Structures are given as C-alpha cells and as structure tokens.
C-alpha cells in the first residue's frame, strides 16, 4: 500500500498524468459552474414568478451559495464520475511505465463504458449515502460518529469503483469485473478509505481522484503478480 502510494505520488509529475489531471480538474469545475448557472436561471425564474424585487441579485447570491454548498457535499461524487471518464488514460499511463506487458494486452473500454461506470458509481454513492442518512442523524450526538460513518460507507464504495477502473481494461465481461480482478476486501477498503480522506482535504481533493486511480492500478497488478 505504501509503495503504491509513493509510486503514484511520484508519477503525478509525468506529462501524461499532468494532462489527465488537468482534464479531470477542469471538467469537475465546469460541471459545478454549469450547476451554478442552472441554479441562477432557475432562481431568476422563481423570483420573477413570485414578483420579488431585486430578484437578479438575490438569485446570483443564492446560486453562488448553492454551488459552494453543493461542491462541498457532492465533490466526491462528481470527481469520481469525471474520473471514470478518463480512468482508462490514467491506468494506461501507470501500466505503460510499470507493467508494460499488461498494457500491451489491455483492451481499453472506451469513454462510453467509462461514462456508464461513472453513472453507476454516482447512483451507488447517492443511494447508499441516502440509506445511511438515518444513521448519520443518529450519530450527530456523538460528535465524531458522523464523519467516521461517512468515511466507512464511502471507503467501501470507492474501493470497488477504483478496483473496477483497472479491471475494465482486462476483462471481457464488464458486468462481472470484481469477480475476476478482485482485491482482498480489507485492502480494497483501505484503498477506498484513503481516497475518501484525500477527497475531503481542500486542494488535495483535486489530486485525489488521479492519485487514487494510480494506486488502484499498482495494487491490482501487484496482487496478480503473486
């Protein structure tokens, strides 16, 4: 795990990885900006319908607040969705440097499969976190229980997502990725937990998706060597 992290961190300086990282960051920011713009026009329409004076300024202020709050709450979901679109490029860059034989036999799934995986990941993240919402509420009285529960739930989800990003290049049945290329449950959870923690740190969270995908590549191929 430590070697996977240090290798992934070192490769962030590669031109190919930097290019992908820039794409992930820009697309993630663009999605939040588009959401903010949509919220603005929606609020302008609502305030006009309610016949509120000064609706334009109020709508702009409210849209900015909504975009910021949404970014804080949903950054992990949006970032992983975007990562799935470019995940093949990241995994390919790591494989070509460290596992060239695997890179030669890989069958890139393409952006369509990446988009499909991203939507599935988004659905799982929203679904399981909504199901866990009552637990989050109950744990509010503990002070620290909510973040612990949140990171456990999302660590489990992210571990699977990251594992499948690597597996999708090397299997023929994309509906049964984990069965053929599965990491040990504990190792997969730790991978997902690290990713979830990195995604919660301001500024580091922009690097986290690419770093986590590179780590997953090392862990999956490292296991299959044994």
Rounded Cα distance, 125 and 157, in Å: 7
Query: In Å, how far from its chain's centre is CA 216?
Result: 13
> Burial, 222: exposed, middle or buried (Cβ in 10 Å; 0-12, 13-18, 19+)?
middle
Q: 71 in helix, strand or coil?
A: helix
Rounded Cα distance, 189 and 26, in Å: 28
Supply the range of the domain harboring residue 29. Answer: 2-225
3-state secondary structure 119-181: HHHHHHHHHHHHHHHHHHHHHHHHCCHHHHHHHHHHHHHHHHHHHHHHHCCCCCCCCCHHHHC
Characterise 51 by phi-psi region: left (phi > 0), alpha (psi -120 to 50), beta (else).
left
pLDDT of residue 55: 63
Rg, C-alpha atoms of the chain: 19
Q: Is residue 103 predicted with pLDDT exceeding 70? A: yes
Rounded Cα distance, 149 and 185, in Å: 18
Contact 169, 108 (CB under 8 A): yes
Count of other CB atoms within 10 angstroms of residue 23: 15
- pLDDT tens profile 121-163: 888 988 998 999 899 888 888 878 888 999 999 999 999 889 9
Burial profile 53-67: b = 16 or more Cβ within 10 angstroms, e = fewer: eebeeebeebbeebb
Higher-pLDDT residue of 147, 111: 147
Distant-in-sequence, close-in-space partners of 111: CB < 8 Å, separation ≥ 6: 85
Mean pLDDT for 94-104 is 89
- pLDDT tens profile 158-178: 998 899 888 888 876 655 555
Please count the structural domains in the chain. Answer: 1
């Amino acid at each position: 795990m430590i070697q996977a992290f240090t290798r992934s961190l070192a490769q962030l300086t590669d031109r190919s990885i930097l290019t992908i990282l820039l794409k992930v960051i820009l697309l993630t920011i663009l999605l939040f900006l588009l959401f903010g713009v949509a919220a603005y026009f929606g609020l302008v329409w609502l305030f006009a319908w309610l016949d509120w004076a000064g609706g334009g300024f109020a709508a702009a202020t409210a849209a900015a607040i909504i975009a910021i709050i949404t970014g804080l709450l949903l950054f992990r979901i949006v970032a992983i969705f975007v990562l799935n679109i470019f995940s093949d490029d990241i995994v390919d860059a790591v494989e070509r440097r460290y596992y060239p034989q695997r890179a030669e036999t890989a069958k890139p799934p393409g952006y369509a499969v990446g988009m499909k995986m991203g939507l599935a990941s988004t659905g799982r993240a929203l679904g399981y976190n909504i199901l866990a919402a009552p637990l989050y509420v109950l744990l509010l009285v503990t002070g620290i229980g909510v973040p612990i529960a949140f990171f456990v739930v999302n660590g489990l989800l992210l571990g699977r997502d990251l594992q499948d990003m690597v597996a999708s290049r090397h299997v023929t049945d994309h509906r049964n990725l984990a069965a053929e290329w599965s990491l040990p449950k504990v190792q997969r959870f730790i991978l997902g937990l690290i990713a979830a923690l990195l995604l919660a740190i301001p500024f580091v969270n922009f690097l986290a998706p690419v770093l986590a995908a590179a780590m997953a590549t090392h862990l999956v191929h490292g296991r299959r060597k044994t």
